[in-house]
Structure 1
Amino acid sequence: MTPSKKQSIDFSSPAYYNNRELSWLSFNERVLQEAVDERTPLLERLKFLAIFSSNLDEFFSVRVAGLKDQVKAGYNRPENKAGMTPKQQLAAITDRTAALVQKQDIFFTETILPLLDTEGIQILTMQELNNGQQSYVENYFRSYVFPVLTPMAVDSSRPFPMLLNKSLHLAVRLQHKQDGDQAESFAIVQIPAVLSRFIELPAASGEKRFMLLEHLLMEYMPELFKGYDIISVSPFRITRNADLTIHEEGARDLLQEIEKELKKRRWGAVIRLEYQKGLMDEKTLRYLVQTLDVHEDDVYQTIGPLDLSFLFGLYSNLSEEREHLVDETLIPQTPEDLIDEPDIFEAIEKKDLFFHHPYESFQPIVDFITAAAHHPEVLAIKQTLYRVSGDSPIIKALLEAADNGKQVTVLVELKARFDEENNIIWAKKLEKAGAHVIFGVSGLKTHSKITLVVKEHKGKIKRYIHLGTGNYNDSTAKLYTDMGILTMNTSFGEDATNFFNHISGFTKKPKWNQISTAPTDLREDLLALIDQEIAYQKKHGDGRIIAKMNSLTDKPLILKLYEASAAGVKIDLIIRGICCLKPGIKGVSENIHVISIIGRFLEHSRIFFFHSHKEEKMYLSSADWMTRNMDKRIEIMFPVFSPSIKKRLKKILETYLKDNVKARYQDNTGTYHYVSSDHKPVNSQLLFHDWAARFVDSDGE
């Protein structure tokens, strides 16, 4: 292609982009593929079905809700990549979601249930119970269920109740005699969330029998409405708008503002209604649609049970006794850099330490904070917290540090979606313990992962810094792939000190030594790094970029990647979720290759490699290449200097690119396909575990 033709291509053409929301649905389809994949153990397939369902719940309550708000407000401007208006996006989402939900539904009822049956596991209806099981559920109903039920009548004096978001309900049509005529009534019964969704029944040895709670309630509904005839009992479920609207400017207390908004989340507008085919009559459906003010496009019908997220609990119930139906347990190993050095501070003083979770244990990070909390020479601990576990050992260590008289500064991000309530609880506890708690920064979410520990040793100050790609969450660290380093690098220490002073005070943004931060300079630094590869490609013909992240949506970065591809730079993108870039388009992105890896661990690490004419620059980051990360979050990207760590990271990236088991590639239409290869199977996640377990060396030989 001639230079003039290259220049004539409009890289902004909507044809060159995937819509953000439809790309997310494509990601969730890949999650569903893991359930469908016969190579996945049976109970793990249950878990992927549950993940698909819970993912879709969040998508509707946030993304779909946001689009509906735009339509309601009369906003009809096309989004800036694929050029779809909010109404067009909603229509496409409806079609795509309906197809995916139907696929999930049919697969569960026609494939999974028969497979469970072959393993002696059945989910029974009331009609399928034997006499002993019927006696058991009757007693269970009277002893455990009936006392917590609350039937809610709907009539002129009792309006339709406010139904809780994502909870299951029964719509009950009733009939009774009134003045000699038959009169109809309507009532709602919430299926108690405090009880298990499934009931384990008595069964023969080696067998498992279950019954869903809603089926039990349907059978015993006459117990709640004595004197009335039951016309119909229909399970249904609603999803509400759960996106918080935080008005920070003018909010005297951000914590109180968020607590107020959290209460509203339960009662947002209904944006989805789900019901089970054959269990809801037309009259009840019309009544619910009208009363809940739901558009007919937002009504979803299933053959099987509603809300398959209950399969998480079923997995937990069955996995211990059915080990042959679950993945082999992969135990996090002692990190390679700590095998010969048990003292964490001494280890950091010798060299930069690298951690690859969950293959290598997260416990050393917990130990680092805990040791700092009790070390007599530690003066201060400063840390950012975005998402932490419910019983966080990190928080416990920080509380102990404050109690021990250390200067503890913690930025707790109160706006971490769906973790707001948990973070408010921890923030209050830290404040009571004497820690200096910062409740985020106005207008921004603090998504950075950084810890600074300051020690005084023989009259000298020492700074120990942890920088990572993932949250300080000991629970998710067992499920998410993330990376981090511990270092005493002086320039990192200065940056860390300035970073915390910047977000806690009024000082203007410092000039960083090594790190890049959003929203001020991260995008510009990434664009400059891509520009360097373009220049090296033109001069030496060796432009090369490998970038691994969760999602790619930022248009300026996509435009620059298209420019780099058109210049001949070879680009590999490893993107688990949303990818608005379309690869393989002649003259635009033909030098870009995109893969997505969905496996037993959630790929969460962000790694950026730039060949830089043999200099090979390597970066880790808390940030995806999304507009929200570049403009609305406080993020950190940091370089990796250690030659040995850079070597490990490069090998990790190369292994991802060789994955032909869990990898899918995106074609130039935006469709994903399993990677096929004549080479031996490479499952990158299992290989990383093998490396950590020393089955093979870190070079993978």
Structure 2
Amino acid sequence: MSASKKYINRDLSWTEFNRRVLEEAEDPGTPLLERFQFLSIVSSNLDEFMSVRVAGLQDQLKAGFNKADFTGYTPHGLIKRLDKRTDRLVRHQYKTYRDLMRSLSKEGVVLAGWSDLNEEQQEALTEYFQEIVFPVLTPMAVDVSRPFPLLHSKELYLAVVLRPDAPGGERQTEGKSFCAIVQVPSILSRTIAVPGRRNSRKQSYVRLEELIKEQIGQLFSGYGTEAVHAFRVTRNSDLALNEEAAEDLLQEIEKELRRRRRGFPVRLEIEKGMHPHALELLLDELELAEDDISEIDGPLDLTFASRFANSLQGMDHLRFPAIEPVYPVEFEEADDMMSVLRERDVLVYHPYESFEAVNDFICEAAEDPEVLAIKMTLYRVSVNSVLVQALAKAAESGKQVTVVVEIKARFDEERNIAWARQLEKAGCHVVYGLVGLKTHAKITLVVRREAGSLRRYVHVGTGNYNENTAKLYTDAGLFTCHPDIGADASALFNEMTGYSTPHDWRAFAVAPTGLKPKLFDLIDRQIGFAKAGKPARILAKMNSLSNQSMIDKLYEASQAGVRIELIVRGVCCLRPGVPGLSENVRIVSIVDRFLEHARILAVSGGDEEEVYISSADWMTRNLSRRVELLCPVYDRGLRQMLLNLLEMNLKDNVKARELLPTGGYARVTNAHAPLRSQFYANDIPLWKTVAVAQEEIEDH
């Protein structure tokens, strides 16, 4: 194979991932309202992809850079390929939307047009418009005296083409047209409930933009409306920071966030049949070409579909059965969590087990008079974070509280800045990470005075300290007071907050300097076992795999005879199953109700077996441009739990897709009984049973 053909392009692999998400919206086996959720995720995924990845490729073209990457694609060639794939994806998405709306209408819920409403309903909506919507709207004329307004990224707008009324109030049909812009207010619900018809069981709704279109004449007295069409702009949303020169990183990011609103447009979505005068004006003002237009046959911005589905009452039969996360049994009967951890390590797996255990760990430490210090990293936190409140309370009580807040977390910058300022006011030491690096490690250290000495308690996780996403993402968290992990945790915080030299780690491997070499050492050890004729296996779970040197190392291991099985949810640039290159590699992706987010690594060869949890994917940014953490799991029972989990993922034949040598994916099908790794056997996950035998897993 040529060098470039050995790899799958990262961005093309991403389009395959978003296609797998769309398949969940298309799957009749997925409950109807949950299918709307997946449809919405496709749109939000595509928005971020366009505003970051495609925007970056366009920046390269503008700079005159057209060198091929290691997968053989130039920016120009890749953009052309991505345009075709995303256009095809969007067409499938809107076909799915129409199919779902037809299915929903059979359940008695419809999104109606104005002409579908009777006179009484139209009067009620007209009153709603006048009282609630009209006062919020701002018509923005575009002419010589009023320049083209700033259009915010990913907001919905209406382009209005007008003609002045002739004397006597007659509408002119000839002469000059005028244009105006009206923003559809995002502060209001995108869907409006319509008063029901008499003796009708149907629930009818009207989209907000359709109501505004129908009432648009109230905004432009003296003008006749020639056309009204919706449109939406996506801008480059990447931050360009000069951290070395920034005297105050907080202020620099706030400036960049303001610049983001004026980022260069990368995509213009328009409603099908847009008036040519309005379209010409938009293309001219936004400096876009026709290739940048995405004409949509349906409502723009389908992210509203999830909010709409969530708002429907009395339709739980069209949703996934509710699952209440259980509180970890190890902590349930204990008077305090620290006493449990002095006896044994505890592993929790969200969302099956409650994130309340993490909240309680921090709250207990904040209130414990023997706790002297709490140190924690925060990457993405929820709006009403219990953890932030507990940290503030601990600082106010005199404890030493240090928080490493990553204010460069994309699209969460403003929220994290607000949290940082709140923590500083409470007396916490707030650190914004290291220059040039994002702090992505998820770790908490509690230092407690016990019997005249100090003991360190540590929580290490694969996911963010966010109670909301912990209900939606699968993530692992380890609670421990192992002395080696405690010592490394102290050293890690010293490196992040001070001028400590690189530490001789006892347990951890830390990016950007030590994680990749540690992974290579583990893989090399398996290569050695395989060459010596011993069984050798690498089993790993992650979100993405795109680093070229990591892929090459896995190819080397495959050629040496190491059995490699990977669970990679999203982007994967490794091409498995190629004779002479990767015939010993199998890769599956699972897209299901919960977002598979855990990063777990297991290596076994000879008599050794090691299991690790990590914050890092195997991408270049994680391995070389972030502070990331790989932590060993020492307890044998907990290692077995994680191995059970990985084995379950690999044997999924309901929601798993296998990556083919072509770069495409195919659903896993076999003669075994259906096994859905996120749910099965009365919704009890098998991996939780520590003593389960491999034969039992095979039976399932």
Q: TM class, shorter-chain normalised?
A: over 0.9
Task: Please report the TM-score for the alignment, with normalisation by the length of structure 1.
Answer: 0.96
Matches of 2:163 and 2:395, distance apart in 1: 64
Q: CA deviation at 1:423?
A: 0.5
Structure 1 counterpart SS, 2:175? strand
- The residue number in structure 2 matching 1:641 is 634
CA contact (8 A) 1:61 1:241 kept: yes
Name the CA distance, whole Å, in 2 between partners of 1:578 and 1:182: 54
CA contact (8 A) 2:538 2:563 kept: yes
Aligned amino acid, residue 644 of structure 2: K
1:54-112 deviations in whole A, cap 9, x for unaligned? 110011111111111111111111112x1211111111110000000000011211x11
Question: Within 1, Cα distance between the matches of 2:645 and 2:153?
Answer: 41
- How far does residue 462 in structure 1 lie from its aligned partner after superposition? 1.1
Shift of 1:587: 0.5
Write the letter of the residue equivalent to 2:203: K
Hey, what's the Cα distance between the residues in 2 that align with 1:698 and 1:168? 54
Note if 1:434 corresponds to 2:427: yes
Q: Note the alpha carbon deviations across 1:377-396, whole angstroms, 9 max, x for none.
A: 00000001101001000001
CA distance in 2, matches of 1:336, 1:654: 23
For 2:610 and 2:245, the matched residues in 1 are separated by 44
The question of whether the paired residues in 2 share the 8 Å contact of 1:382 and 1:409 is answered with yes
Give the 3-state SS of the residue equivalent to 1:686 in structure 2: coil
Deviation, 1:354, is 0.6
2:445 to 452, 455, 463: 452
List alignment gaps of at least 5 residues for structure 2: none
From 75, 79, 93, the counterpart of 2:65: 75
In the other structure, the counterpart of 1:253 is 248
Q: Identify the residue that residue 366 of structure 1 maps to in structure 2.
A: 359
Which residue of structure 2 aligns with residue 98 of structure 1?
A: 87
1:607–1:688 CA distance, 2 compared to 1 (3 A): farther
Shift of residue 130, structure 1, vs aligned partner: 1.3
Partner of 1:216: 211
Q: 2:588 corresponds to which residue? A: 595
- How far apart in 1 are the matches of 2:540 and 2:339? 33
Q: What pairs with 1:318-397 in structure 2 (closer than 5 Å)? A: 318=312, 320-397=313-390
- Change over 3 Å in CA distance of 1:116–1:105 after alignment to 2: same
Structure 1: 5+ residue stretches without partners: 1-8
Quote the Cα distance in structure 1 between the aligned partners of 2:511 and 2:686: 36
CA pair 510-688 structure 1, distance change in 2 beyond 3 A: farther
User: Which amino acid is the alignment partner of residue 257 of structure 1?
Assistant: E
Task: Tell me the distance in 1 between the aligned counterparts of 2:452 and 2:64.
Answer: 65
Distance 1:681 1:342, change over 3 A: farther
Match of 2:276 in 1: 282
Contact 1:380 1:454 in 2 (8 A): yes
Aligned counterpart, 1:50: 40
Partner of residue 144, structure 1: 132
What do you get for the CA RMSD once the two structures are aligned?
1.7
Measured at CA, do residues 346 and 230 of structure 1 come closer, stay the same or move farther in structure 2, by a change above 3 Å?
Answer: same
Secondary structure of 1:409's match? strand
How far did 1:692 drift? 5.8
Which of 662, 670, 694 pairs up with 1:669? 662
Give the 3 Å change call, closer, same or farther, for CA 696–520 of structure 1 in structure 2. closer
CA pair 178-248 structure 1, distance change in 2 beyond 3 A? farther
**1:651 partner amino acid:** N
Aligned identity (percent) is 48
TM-score, normalised to structure 2, is 0.96
Alignment match, 1:531: 524
State the Cα distance separating 1:476 from its structure 2 match: 0.5
2:299 counterpart residue number: 305
Partner of 2:305: helix, strand, or coil? Answer: helix
Which residue in 2 is equivalent to 1:683?
A: 676
Q: Structure 1's 520 and 697: CA in aligned 2 closer, same or farther, altered over 3 A?
A: closer
In structure 1, what is the equivalent of residue 10 of structure 2? 20
**Residue 472 of structure 2 is aligned to residue 482 of structure 1:** no
> Which SS does the other structure have where 1:616 is aligned?
strand
Q: Contact conserved, 1:176 with 1:227, CA < 8 A, in 2?
A: yes
**Selected match of 2:148 from 160, 163, 168:** 160
Give the whole-Å Cα distance in 1 for the aligned partners of 2:110 and 2:687. Answer: 41
Equivalence for 2:578: 585
CA distance in 2, matches of 1:629, 1:623: 6
Give CA deviations for 1:506-544 in whole Å, capped at 9, x if unaligned.
111111001000000111110111111111001024111
In 1, Cα distance between equivalents of 2:369 and 2:673: 53
Deviation at 1:694, TM superposition (A): 11
The partner residue of 1:230 within 209, 221, 225 is 225
Matching residue within 546, 549, 553 for 2:542: 549
Shift, 1:688, TM fit: 9.2
Name the CA distance, whole Å, in 1 between partners of 2:288 and 2:436.
Answer: 32
Query: Residue deviations 1:641-696, cap 9 Å, x none?
Result: 10100111111111000101110001100001111121111110114983369997
Kept in 1, the 8 Å contact 2:137–2:185? The answer is yes
Contact 1:333 1:692 in 2 (8 A): no
Instruction: Report if aligned partners of 1:527, 1:560 keep a CA contact under 8 Å in 2.
Output: yes
Q: What residue in structure 2 maps to residue 6 of structure 1?
A: none
Secondary structure of 1:684's aligned partner: coil
Question: Structure 1 residues 551-560 or 686-695, which shifts more?
Answer: 686-695
Alignment pair present for 1:171 and 2:159:
yes
Write the distance in 2 (CA, Å) between the matches of 1:668 and 1:156: 58
Letter in 2 for 1:284: A
Listed one character per residue, the Cα deviations across residues 578-616 of structure 1 (whole Å, up to 9, x for unaligned) are: 001110111011110010000000000001011132311
After TM superposition, give the deviation of residue 460 of structure 1 in Å: 1.2
In the alignment, the residues of structure 2 paired with residue 360 and residue 406 of structure 1 have an alpha-carbon distance, to the nearest angstrom, of: 29
Distance 1:604 1:186 in 2: 47
Look up the match of 2:646. 653
Please say if residues 502 and 509 of structure 1, whose CA atoms lie closer than 8 Å, have aligned partners that are also in contact: yes
Using the alignment, how far apart are the partners of 2:682 and 2:485 within structure 1?
Answer: 30
Are the equivalent residues in 2 in contact too, given 1:336–1:692 (CA < 8 A)? no
